[in-house]
Amino acid sequence: MNLPEVKKQNEIMNNREIRICVPITGRNLGEFIGNMEKARRLSGLVELRSDFIEGLQPSDVSLIRKKAVQESIFTCRKKTEGGKFGGREQQRIAILNEALGLSFNYVDIELSTLQEDKIDLSRKGKTKLIVSHHDFEGTPNEIVLRKIIGDMKERNPDIIKVATQVINPEDNYKLFRLMLDDSIGLPRILIGMGKLGEITRIIGPILGNYLTFASMNNQVTAQGQIDINQLRRIYKLMGVKS
């Protein structure tokens, strides 16, 4: 990453608005839907973390879709990639398959889940598929990261998302270089988790990220998420629209 590249990205951002996505959680279906409604005044884009809902059933997904008036990313995250889903894996797969058939704007499914070939991608219609990968141990070297991205691309995603734990500043630079690499050929979301990774959430969209995530009312779903009001203040100081 060099100064001319950063200046180029700043020029691009002056012509468009940064997309801030607010994750929605809730211990039960009623609380979850209530939080969806609270988020309306904060952001037009939400991530529906349905894995937080205790006892969620595939039949509940249609109600969530009905109440989702904002642009929405539906996911039911597995525990090994930072999720909270407490049911059987077969049930989680059924929930994701149900969501694919309900015309959410986006459905986010882990690469590791897609590799099991239990997801019926023929159901997705106009829904955009986000293929994701989460590493809570650290940030691999760029060869490994590019291998992961290559594996993602084999699943014909519309968007790819890679979130890794940042252990040192060099981890951030690995992610920055990928943000700036147009040869990847797909919209991408590259996130550094943890305190040291906060900077990726701020300048990621300026360097090429499709969107960034920000929390609402301390509903943090990943380490390093910044409150949406604080993040908007930062962008205002930077002279960037959000």
With contact defined as beta carbons under 8 Å apart, do 87 and 53 qualify?
no
DSSP string, 68-97: --SEEEEE---GGGT----S-HHHHHHHHH
CA 125 to mean position of chain CA atoms:
20
- What order do you get walking across the sheet with 188-193 strand by strand? 188-193, 159-165, 128-135, 106-110, 71-75, 45-49, 20-24, 212-215, 226-227
Cβ burial of 100 (10 Å; 0-12, 13-18, 19+) is buried
Catalytic residue list contains 161 = yes
Residue whose entry in the numeric block shows the structure tokens 């890679």: 162
Q: Which of 150, 151, 203, 143 is CA-nearest to residue 179? A: 203
Which residue among 78, 133, 161, 174 is the active-site one? 161
* Alpha carbons 203 and 59: distance in angstroms, whole number: 39
Which residue among 78, 124, 133, 134 is the active-site one? 134
Q: Which residues have a catalytic role annotated?
A: 134, 161
